[in-house]
Structure 1
Amino acid sequence: MSDAGEQGMGVVVSSSHTVSAAPSSSGEDSSHSSPAPAWGPSHQSFMNFSHAEYEEVHAAYVEEKAQLSLLTEKHAVLLQEYSQIEEERRVRQEKEEQALKELNTMTLAATRIQAFWRGYLVRSLFKSKRKKKKGKGKGKKAKK
């Protein structure tokens, strides 16, 4: 690859096997319309090499793109399932909260009913004791 720089073009190869031609440090600018240099046999071997590498990279790209589309479809399905699970959890939690609220309401109602009943029993016991005391008390006063 070092002999490719002799023609005024540097080759940049990254870790993903992509090949790109970059201007060399000699200051040549490919944007200007200058006559094309005469390419020799070394350029032809370079072009064959880069075309073979391009085919390899392109094949890897197509394979990875197919894998990406499969993964994207699987992700969409999983995302939908996850949303459904979250919705089911939310509904179940709301039902549990509603059941707890109803239980608290019923407990409070039962406590009030019991308190009312106990109060009624106590008051009725006191009424019967008062009547008995009043009857006995009048009889004693009358004897005097």
Structure 2
Amino acid sequence: MASNNLDNLYRQVIMDHYKNPRNKGSLEGDSLVIDMNNPTCGDRIHLTLQVEDGIVKDAKFDGEGCSISMSSASMMTQTIKGKSVEEAMKLASIFSDMMQGKDYEEDELDLGDIEALQGVNKFPARIKCATLAWKAMEKGLKE
């Protein structure tokens, strides 16, 4: 019963981010712009990042896709704001491990709402939906 309640809570968190996305839109000015899509299901994301002195000052996304894809983008942008590039990349690594069902260390980084997506790894077809925004962020920060 407790696991069922946790699944329901996670589902509510995901749907809240889908229906009320955080950081939806795009940044003006000097920003990193990354466009990616998932041709398998049609999800697409337009991610803009403002990075100054090695810190992700702001992050916004736009796009269209399923609830998993869009809520993951909302959670990701909310979580990486104010983090160093290294911390954002570490979060991406932790998220990737979580999606692959591997053990992951939360260490000092707070995953926040992102933990609600951990059940996605039970549905292999949905993993690419959940990781799209994260892959876009990694690509942007590596360039």
TM-score by length of 2: 0.21
Which protein is richer in strand relative to its size? 2
- Structure possessing the higher radius of gyration over alpha carbons: 1
TM-score by length of 1: 0.21
Between 1 and 2, higher relative CO (CA 8 Å, sep ≥ 6) is seen in: 2
Which protein is richer in helix relative to its size? 1
